[in-house]
Amino acid sequence: MKQYSYIFTKQLGIHAVMYFIGIAIIVALGILPGRNEIIQLDSKIDYAQSQLEEKNSLLSTYHLLSEIKKQPMTLPMPVKKPINKEKMEDVIKALKESAKAAGLKAVSITPDVNTMTKGSQMYVINTRLEGEFPGLRHFLLETAALPYVGNVASISINNEFYSKEQSFDINVEVMLER
């Protein structure tokens, strides 16, 4: 058996250096720019995914706002008809129901005696409600929809310190038949 001994020759060294330089050129020209492109693509993908998640999270809000936009922005204004004095209990009952529908507590709903005796066509009902402020809007819309309510004469809002509930004093004018 022959034993081979490898001797490091000058030509073999040049070939090895050329081989490593070739690998370095391939890595420098092919792999590193590709790696940078991959990093840029990954950041673009992350940005697109975050935009998609944001779109999906805002989609329900968009649908809610588009439904609100479709609703008419006018207040209910039915034809106003005077009511008979004997039916004043119906007016008080309707105001209590409006307060309940609005999530407000009707503390007192009483007719103003001064307007009863003057013989005018308008009859004022003093209403005291308690609850949260958004319920006031709903109550006023319900009240405006009643055909015998002429005007809301005055509104007084009393706010308790450190409380999210308020009390509302509302004077409602009711049109009476002569």
Give the CATH number of domain 85-175; options: 3.40.640.10, 2.40.70.10, 3.30.1330.10, 3.30.70.60.
Answer: 3.30.70.60
Give the start-to-end residue ranges of the domains of the chain. 1-73, 85-175
pLDDT at 53 over 70: yes
| pLDDT value of position 50 | 93
Whole-angstrom CA distances from 44 to 47, 48, 106, 138, 141 are 5, 6, 58, 48, 50
pLDDT class of 117 with cuts at 50, 70, 90: low
Place of tokens 């809000």: 61
Closest among 142, 116, 139, 141 to 128, alpha carbons compared: 139
Tokens for 121? 């066509």
Tokens for 101? 């529908």
| pLDDT value of position 119 | 63
pLDDT digits (tens, 9 = 90+) for 126-136: 888 888 878 88
pLDDT class of 141 with cuts at 50, 70, 90: confident
Say which residue, 52 or 77, is predicted with more confidence: 52
Tokens for 16? 């090895």
pLDDT digits (tens, 9 = 90+) for 100-114: 988 888 888 888 877
